A and B are shown apart, each in its own frame.
Chain A
């Protein structure tokens, strides 16, 4: 039995571009950071809460998607004849709804009593929530990783390939200048759609109410806005964003195995993106996310000199964050805090 094939030196003018690979990886990472930052910023903007539980919520969301899509196969089991992608999309929707409900429940139970308390104390409460949600989620995940069950598989789009024109779906082993997995394309499209959705949301009635609450809670209440409902909505949206972020993390090629017990710690890496963009700026979250994603991808590809040891790429976002905090603490787009005596 032969064990595997070997890469033979292919005679070709097509050279896989390292830069192209870095860009694709940067887009993929940037999308993850942008979505995680978006959820975080929405929660912060509306409720002034620094949500340290975002990582746990992302792992929980990813696990819910895995449960609905693969483990219990709902609603797929009732839709035998329909296309696979439709079944998957519906499973994801179910999971997101459940994630939103859990987010609202957490807000009601643990954060409503903390209204008016010091910001730092509330942040620590979210740390406590993170520990609880993470432990319970990891208990459910168990020994193996849980795949997301997405219909994209290993499919890849190739640009500038040796055989097969300029753009086209490529075989697994084909020399191309740039290879983009379909999952990355999906993530990019979904991110753009979500950003557009959020922008539209903030023009709707609830969205304007949320902006008002973010500006001044007391005045918003005086205008008749139910602040509690706004908080619940913000946390629901935040949990959904976190879940989608978790989905992005647990797909091919980043973690083809799926969500595992390490997924919950990924979100800490999004904090530099949030700081860079500004804690309360939606635009900042997106820009910051992609900027940090590209920075990390570039560092992982090019800054691999011996004296830097290993993992420098992972530390670059934090160095960027430290520099931003020293030079311009409110980030690129954040609102400056006015200090009153």
Chain B
């Protein structure tokens, strides 16, 4: 009925992924904005089309895929896992072995992307399922320790499997993002060079951005769909009360294995894309801190929701760049300005080694924190503050804002 958006008359309408007109419109606007970014036509946001920002946004898209995986495991199924980085590493190295140049220094078979990308996910999923029986025997915090051990054992394996990973501190190159049918000389779609698609000139960063965006959207749809299927509901039942779920007929072991498998699939694909995107990766990349970064993304964004994951990933991944730009701007103001703002900021920023400040912009050891350390401190603070004040994360904040405006002007 018109005017009554939340009145659903058909089951499909209730369960639809975009079930209100508002959602459909917002998604449409958002998607068109994303598609237009590389052309720098959006007012105020045209800097996003620059190559370095496009690279950042591509990184965000790749991390979204991984974070969706962890969200399925942590937010939907309630299983605490610190081992996400390990599965990403597995995916990356499977992709490397299958897709890299056979003439190269390390193991490679030269297969095309449509083989190595899904294979990365499948093999990671397989290992996730193989690991599952060990994981289902323990609950809660003990599962966190089991997966923590997995990361360290994985680190040891990666360091020593030199023919595959290149060894510690050296790393290896990963197959570039390009689309061939089967080992031809020139790829069908080449992401590495500027060129034209359908007559539109695009830089290689733009092409890569579109590709990873497409993959990310695909996985977002899959994840959102999972929530409304039988499997998804079983996950949520296990998360909320696993003994009760077992009594209801939800086989705990089988569904937990599935959760690990699906989550590891996402992680594997994300790891393969990340390694391929960066080009050279050392085995230490897949360490505990990467896992923690994903946990932070899921918790800051809002566990259990796809929109929350997107918000969280964007926030956590773009934060270092925001802090860096903000610090550069502050340094600029302090050095060239002479107004009140400059004097205030001078208290915060130190530009000489004898200056006082909380943040220093020197390369060396100076008073206060460097930009990188400031990033770390803000990151830690955000984790703490979100968990204390807003356990539902950014998505929770969005819900509050939305509810406020929904009831406006009767907000009480």
Contacts and interface: CB of A to CB of B under 8 A. Distances in A.
B243 A110 contact: no
A50 B141 contact: yes
A: contact size bracket: 35 or more
Interface stretch (A7-15, A63-71, A135-143): A135-143
Contact of B141 (A117, A123, A129): A123
Contacts of B144: 50, 120, 123
Interface stretch (B63-71, B181-189, B383-391): B383-391
B152 A318 contact: yes
Contact of A120 (B140, B241, B292, B296): B140
Given A271-B148, A325-B145, A114 B387 contact: yes
A125 B387 contact: yes
B383 A326 contact: no
A125 B376 contact: no
Interface residues of B, number: 44
B54 interface: no
Interface in A309-324: 309-312, 314-315, 318-319, 321-322
A271 B387 contact: no
Given A309-B160, A318-B153, A135 B376 contact: yes
Interface string B262-277: 0000000000000000
Give the interface centre of B146, B149, B368, B373 by most chain A CB atoms within 10 Å: B149
Nearest to B156: A315
A341 B243 contact: yes
- What secondary structure prevails in chain A residues at the interface with B? helix
Contacts of A319: 149, 153
A326 B134 contact: yes
A102 interface: no
Contacts of A315: 152-153, 156
Interface in B224-268: 241, 243-244, 247
Contacts of B160: 308-311
Contacts of B292: 127
A110 B388 CA distance: 8
A134 B138 CA distance: 30
A123 B145 CA distance: 12
B380 A129 contact: yes
A312 B369 CA distance: 36
A161 interface: no
A120 B369 contact: no
A310 B169 CA distance: 14
A237 to B, nearest CB: 21
Interface string B133-144: 010011111101
A268 interface: yes
Contacts of B145: 271, 275, 321, 325
Contacts of B134: 322, 325-326
Contacts of B6: none
A132 interface: yes
Give the interface centre of B145, B160, B247, B381 by most chain A CB atoms within 10 Å: B145
B365 interface: yes
Contacts of B322: none
Interface in A279-323: 279, 308-312, 314-315, 318-319, 321-322
Contacts of A50: 141, 144
B142 A329 contact: yes
A339 to B, nearest CB: 6
B124 interface: no
Given A311-B159, A315-B152, A319-B153, A132 B380 contact: yes
Nearest to A321: B149
A143 B365 CA distance: 8
Contact of A325 (B142, B368, B370, B380): B142
A286 B111 CA distance: 53
A329 B137 contact: yes
Contacts of B156: 309, 311-312, 314-315
Contacts of A322: 134, 146, 149-150, 153
Contact of B376 (A131, A268, A309): A131
B295 interface: yes
Contacts of A325: 134, 137-138, 142, 145-146, 149
A8 to B, nearest CB: 37
Nearest to A314: B156
A121 interface: yes
A224 interface: no
Given A315-B152, A321-B145, A341-B244, A128 B140 contact: no
B57 interface: no
Contacts of A143: 365
A184 B307 CA distance: 54
B122 interface: no
A310 B379 contact: no
B2 to A, nearest CB: 43
B282 to A, nearest CB: 15
8 contacts: A110-B388, A128-B382, A130-B380, A132-B381, A136-B377, A275-B145, A310-B160, A326-B137
Interface of B: 80, 134, 137-142, 144-146, 148-150, 152-153, 156, 159-160, 241, 243-244, 247, 288, 292, 295-296, 299, 365, 368-370, 373, 376-377, 379-384, 387-388, 391
